[in-house]
Amino acid sequence: SRPGQAREGPPSRPAGSARSPHPFALAMAANGEPAQDSRRMELLGTEEKLRSARAQIQDAQRCALETEESGFAVLSDLARQREVIQRTTGHISQIDSNITGARRVLMQMSRRAMLKRVALWT
């Protein structure tokens, strides 16, 4: 091409920056097999990595679902325990009220007994 004229085609890479071939490609080229076989091996390796990643994702999803189920079970238990605590609080209030009433009755009985004793002594 002449100076000032744009080049057509892909941009050239600076010296030393060319992509290094995949290890599979080097092994295949060393064996004298076609480049297509090296590409196939590279794709098979990539496919295996994808399978492994997919299995890890599925394991993570399964773990997340189990954790979510455990969380829901804990929330359910906590809700039941809250109801028990609220009922117990209500029962304690009722018991307190009953004890207060019983204390009044006992005080009245004690006063009457004392008045009767005083009346008998006089």
Nearby residues of 45 by Cβ (< 8 Å), 6 or more positions away: 24
Q: Considering the chain, what is the average pLDDT of its residues?
A: 82
| Chain segment 13-53, per-residue pLDDT in tens | 444 444 555 555 455 445 555 678 889 899 999 999 999 99
Count, residues in the chain: 122
User: In 10 A of CB 29, how many CB atoms?
Assistant: 14
Q: Which amino acid, residue 81?
A: Q
The residue ranges of every structural domain in the chain are 23-121
**Separation in Å, CA 58 to CA 23, 52, 53, 55, 68:** 30, 10, 9, 5, 15
Nearby residues of 21 by Cβ (< 8 Å), 6 or more positions away: 29
